[in-house]
Amino acid sequence: MTHYSWQKELKDIYDAATLRFRDGIRDPEQCFSSDEKTALATIGLKPINVFDYIEDYVDRGEPDWETFVLIAAARRDYFLHEQNGEWSQAELDSSKLPSKTEAVEGIEWLPRITQKAECFLGGGLCSDIMYGCGGDRSFLKAHRIHPADFLRMIWAARGDQRKVLEFVKHHAA
């Protein structure tokens, strides 16, 4: 994808895959052409990263395109500027994720969404886990945080869990 118009190219890919999804193609690998997969890789996205958002949007009405593109922009920026366009070799084992009820200072889901966000930013989120799933969206809505803003905070915190906790508390107040 070109740096200047990557978001337009991503929109074309997203729209084409949405049509395929609505036509019954429910396999993330089959929902994208090889050229589309190559283009996605240049901005740090795997087909599943786009497919999950399309699936939730078609089936549940959210997240919308605007939310998705902001999330994709955070991943793209991290991929290009922190990872220098190089893919991470590590992939999260979903069994290692904190439980949905695990809490930090009484805030359930925070350890889970924090690890998911870190893995998504780094490109290491496994295909059976989605950053921005229904549970994540519920958590973020309850704490009045946009999913892309949470990703950018995770990036800025650079592993400092105290900064993440303060960010969440500040927005929820």
Instruction: Please give the C-alpha separations between residue 18 and each of 12, 86, 173, in angstroms, as whole numbers.
Output: 10, 28, 37
Give percent of the chain with pLDDT exceeding 90.
Answer: 93
Mean pLDDT of 88-104: 92
Q: What is the pTM of this model?
A: 0.95
Q: What is the pLDDT of residue 103?
A: 97
Check whether 133 has a pLDDT greater than 90.
yes
**pLDDT of res. 3:** 85
pLDDT of residue 88: 84
**Domain extents for the chain?**
1-86, 88-173
In angstroms, the CA 9 to CA 162 distance is 37
